[in-house]
Structure 1
Amino acid sequence: MAQRFTYQLSHAGIQALRSLEDYLHDCRLEAPLLELVKMRASQINGCAFCLDMHSKGARAAGESEQRLYTLNAWRETPFFSDRERAALAWTEAVTRVADTHVPDNVYEQAAQYFNDNELLDLSLAIAAINSWNRLAIASRMEAGGYRPDLAR
């Protein structure tokens, strides 16, 4: 598939999303957790570009191959902590908001492991990756070229 359009890093809207990413990079949520969240949302949305990017970022942050390979089936594995499970359930509910309306039981689970500020940061991370997914899919960005050593 040919790329439809290229978005310029100098575009004010892209700069706003990058500013959000900068904020999230410095927030108190663990970097490996954020990479898992970004990968899970990207799996749901079918964004190959973002899956390529965040799987590489997760590996660079020390994530294991086993956990990356089983992320799509996280409920059936023993590889994720309760905090990670709560974040992944929140990610799925927020990403599929039109279908789920983010159920109370998912919120209650997340609230056990994240304070209000952390839950807001987690929600902002989910909103950001969903935005990036939509931009990458709509523009047909090609997967494969991302290098974590050149990021930021």
Structure 2
Amino acid sequence: MSHARKEYKEFMSLTPDAYEAVLALSQVAGKAGIDKQLLELIKLRASQINGCAFCVQFHILEGERLGVTADKLNLVVVWREVPQFSQRERAALAWTEALTLLGDGDGVSDDVYAEAAREFSDKELAYLTSAVAAINVWNRFGAAFRWTPPARKSAVGSAAS
């Protein structure tokens, strides 16, 4: 069984400047008007890919709080195989996977870029990219230190990944 090496709150107190910097990056896409439910889906998908248990649980709980359907939260891991996701969500999820898995191939393909560019303006795509970058940073901390996934009652509002 895995155990935490350092907990989330310890990270916050050890490196408040790093915490604040990543937190600020995490918030820009939502402040710019990117749909918060969509952001939770991409954060959940990146966290699944990166194996960050803390962030997977956090973004499930945050998605629930924001009204993301249970079907979408449960099926985001197989989003290509099910009809629950809109074209815009599919483009965002494909973009998220391409950016999260940069080292696994040829980077971001022209097809993935074209699909994302059809669904998002240049500005929206830049903000979406900032959200993917931010969750990948949180995932590196959470997975490296094996942060304990938040409990249902205390998770929402206690972290900002």
Q: Which moved more, 1:140-149 or 1:88-97?
A: 140-149
| 2:62 and 2:156 in contact (8 A); partners too | yes
Describe the superposition over 1:100-147 as per-residue Cα deviations: whole angstroms up to 9, x where unpaired: 311111000000011111111111100100110010011110113352
**1:69 paired residue among 59, 71, 74:** 74
TM-score (norm 2): 0.88
**2:31 paired residue among 26, 29, 43:** 26
Q: Give the aligned partner of residue 20 of structure 2.
A: 15
Q: Give the aligned partner of residue 124 of structure 1.
A: 130
Structure 2 CA distance for aligned equivalents of residues 85 and 22 of structure 1: 22
**1:35 paired residue among 35, 40, 53:** 40
Q: Give the aligned partner of residue 135 of structure 1.
A: 141
Deviation at 1:75, TM superposition (A): 0.7
SS in 1 for 2:84: coil
Structure 2 CA distance for aligned equivalents of residues 150 and 125 of structure 1: 19
Runs of 4+ that moved beyond 3 A? 149-152
Q: Which amino acid aligns with 2:131?
A: A
SS in 2 for 1:142: coil
Structure 2 CA distance for aligned equivalents of residues 151 and 50 of structure 1: 9
5+ unaligned residues in a row in structure 1: which ranges?
none
The percentage of counterpart residues that share the same residue type is: 41
| 2:88 and 2:119 in contact (8 A); partners too | yes
Deviation at 1:28, TM superposition (A): 1.5
Deviation at 1:22, TM superposition (A): 2.8
Structure 1 CA distance for aligned equivalents of residues 159 and 32 of structure 2: 18
